[in-house]
Structure 1
Amino acid sequence: MKTVAMVLFPDFLLLDMAGPLEVFSVANRYLNPEFHYQLITLGTEHGALRASNGVWLHADRHIDDAHDHYDLLLVPGGPGAYNERFPGLFDWLKGAVPRVERYGSICTGAFVLGHAGLLDGYRVTTHWNYTERLIKGFPKASVATDQIFVEDRNLITSGGVTAGIDLALAVVARDHGKKLAQDVAKVLLVVTRRQGGQAQFSPLMAAVSPQETPITRAQHYVLEHLDEAFTIERMAGLANMSPRHFARVFTRELNMTPMAFLQNARIDCARNLLETSELPLKTVAYKSGFGSVRHMRSLFAQRLGLTPAQYREQFS
């Protein structure tokens, strides 16, 4: 019997806990009792804990009373994970992790592991909206920005919220084979391996700064005329700069090259049209500035892991 422990703290995200534990619970329906997963919740508080959605629940035991060996120790995300500090939990995790076979996080639970010093030297991920914050907060970790989940030695981390289900299915597949993971996924009406990564959910373009500068003037013009052809020279002309100086300033201020900005803007424009209209793919490609469906399809596959048709089917 394998033990799966989930650590709970104030303001955790309930779905981060419930999704993965439900995967293991459903897996138990197919397994002989001696191979069941034993599910345990560990709380940082005595008595009830309040999740971020207002639900109160009692953990099976307090972390001070948790001295067992666990096969898998998981930390959920939520506002409490990235906005609060729980020194007692961090210290407990530092002592507990050496005694477990594997440990991991769901969504922003990676921040809890980071504050406990348990991400250093590992390749990890978190919710797409928090990857930059994780990168800045824990520079000794290597943060993957487009993965649903990442396994590195005995650490497994997942992207946002429902990606915890993907993480748990991967654990079940490793423990008991792909067939069981597929059976569990069918019960939960999910797939064992999603197409593409987190980039399909996250915008590639950040909002343009409201401050009027030569760079933002060029950005605004490009965004309003994506169906036109652009080169570095043309964009530099919009900012009244030399191409070399424009490229250097643009990259420094936006942390991307002008051509990467243009490509990201076109992809996001196409995504919006695919989500909100029934325009033919040829028209979407034209309005977004790709020139051809073939070019648009190539960039979608490269950046999002999906074709435009697959993206429309999934998100419209």
Structure 2
Amino acid sequence: MKNIAMVLYPDFLLLDIAGPLEVFSIANRYLAPDKHYRITIIGTESGPLRASNGALMQAEFTLEQATGSYDLLLVPGGPGAYNHQHPELLTWLRGASERAGRYGSICTGTFILGHAGLLDGYRVTTHWHYTERLIKAFPKARVETDQIFLEDRRLVTSGGVTAGIDLALSMVALDHGRKVALDVAKVLLVVMSRQGGQAQFSPLVANITTHETPISRVQNYVLEHLDESFSIARMAEIAAMSPRHFARLFAREVQMTPMEFLQNARIDQARSLLESSDLPLKTIAFRSGFGSVRLMRQRFVERLGLTPLQYRLQFN
């Protein structure tokens, strides 16, 4: 029997808990009794704990009562993970993680693991909206921004919300084989392996500052004229700088090269048109500045892990 523990704290995200736990619960239907998962809910305090959506959930044990070891110990995400400190939980996690077969987080639960000192030197991921914040908060962690979930030695982390289901399915596959995990996925009406990573859900170009600078002026001009051809020399001319100085300043301010910004902006434009219209792929490729469907397809596969047509089928 495998022991699965999930830790609750105030302001957790309910789906981060419910999704993975349903995977393990449904897996029990396909397993012999002695192979079942035993699920334990541990709370930072006694009594019901309120989720971010207002629902109340009662833990089976408090931290003080939960002194055993677990095959898998998970911390969910939620506003309480990154907006509040939980010193008693951090102390408990340091000891409990040493006794666990595997430990990890769902979504932004990585912030709690980080504050407990459990991310340093590990490859980790979290919800795409919070990856930059995670990178700044825990520079010793190796944050990967496009993974649905990651396993590095005994540490497992997942992207946002429903990615916890993907992580749990992978754990079932490791424990009991792909057939059992596939049966569970079919019951939940989800796929075993998603096409692409988190990048397909997140904008590739961040919001541009409202304070005008030579760099932001170039960014806005590019976004308004994506169907035109651009080079570093042309963008530098718009900024009234030398190409070398412009490229260096752009990379420092935007955290990507001018050509990376251009390609990401074109992909974002194409994604928007794929989501909101039935325009032919050729028209979308032209309006986004790719020039051809072939080049657009190539850039989509390189950056998002799926073709424009696959993207349209998923999001249109």
Q: Scaled by the length of structure 2, what TM-score is found?
A: 0.99
Q: How far, CA to CA, are the matches of 1:242 and 1:256 in structure 2? A: 18
Aligned to 1:163: 163
Offset from partner CA, 1:217-249 (integer Å, 9 cap, x none): 111111100000000000001111110111011
Task: State yes or no: 1:149 paired with 2:149.
Answer: yes
Amino acid at match of 1:251: A
Q: How far, CA to CA, are the matches of 1:142 and 1:112 in structure 2? A: 16
Q: How far, CA to CA, are the matches of 2:4 and 2:209 in structure 1? A: 45
Offset from partner CA, 1:103-152 (integer Å, 9 cap, x none): 01000000000000011111000000000111110111100100000000
Aligned to 1:274: 274
Aligned residue-pair number: 316
SS in structure 2 of the partner of residue 139 of structure 1: coil
Q: How far, CA to CA, are the matches of 2:8 and 2:162 in structure 1? A: 17
SS in structure 2 of the partner of residue 64 of structure 1: coil
Amino acid at match of 2:4: V
SS in structure 2 of the partner of residue 65 of structure 1: coil
Amino acid at match of 2:128: W
Q: How far, CA to CA, are the matches of 2:66 and 2:218 in structure 1? A: 58
Aligned to 2:97: 97
Aligned to 1:215: 215
Amino acid at match of 1:277: S
Q: CA RMSD in A?
A: 0.5
Aligned to 1:313: 313
Q: How far, CA to CA, are the matches of 2:258 and 2:97 in structure 1? A: 44
SS in structure 1 of the partner of residue 64 of structure 2: helix
Q: How far, CA to CA, are the matches of 2:94 and 2:281 in structure 1? A: 52
Aligned to 1:202: 202
Offset from partner CA, 1:251-270 (integer Å, 9 cap, x none): 11111110011000000000
Task: State yes or no: 1:293 paired with 2:293.
Answer: yes
Aligned to 1:248: 248
Q: How far, CA to CA, are the matches of 1:137 and 1:217 in structure 2? A: 30
Aligned to 1:172: 172
Amino acid at match of 1:256: M
Offset from partner CA, 1:167-195 (integer Å, 9 cap, x none): 00000000000000000000000011101
Runs (5+) with no aligned partner, structure 2: none
Aligned to 1:263: 263
Q: How far, CA to CA, are the matches of 2:216 and 2:136 in structure 1? A: 25
Q: How far, CA to CA, are the matches of 1:216 and 1:112 in structure 2? A: 35
SS in structure 2 of the partner of residue 145 of structure 1: coil
Aligned to 2:56: 56
Q: How far, CA to CA, are the matches of 1:75 and 1:231 in structure 2? A: 46
Shift of 1:207: 1.2
Percent identity, please.
Answer: 71
SS in structure 1 of the partner of residue 279 of structure 2: coil
SS in structure 2 of the partner of residue 108 of structure 1: helix
Q: How far, CA to CA, are the matches of 2:222 and 2:99 in structure 1? A: 55
Aligned to 2:229: 229
Shift of 1:209: 0.9
Q: How far, CA to CA, are the matches of 1:290 and 1:134 in structure 2? A: 33
SS in structure 1 of the partner of residue 283 of structure 2: helix
- Provide runs of 4+ in structure 1 moved above 6 Å: none
Shift of 1:300: 0.2
SS in structure 1 of the partner of residue 229 of structure 2: coil
Q: How far, CA to CA, are the matches of 2:176 and 2:40 in structure 1? A: 20
Aligned to 1:70: 70
Q: How far, CA to CA, are the matches of 1:57 and 1:241 in structure 2? A: 59
Amino acid at match of 2:304: L
Offset from partner CA, 1:202-222 (integer Å, 9 cap, x none): 000111111111111111111
**Counterparts of residues 12-23 of structure 1 (less than 5 Å):** 12-23=12-23
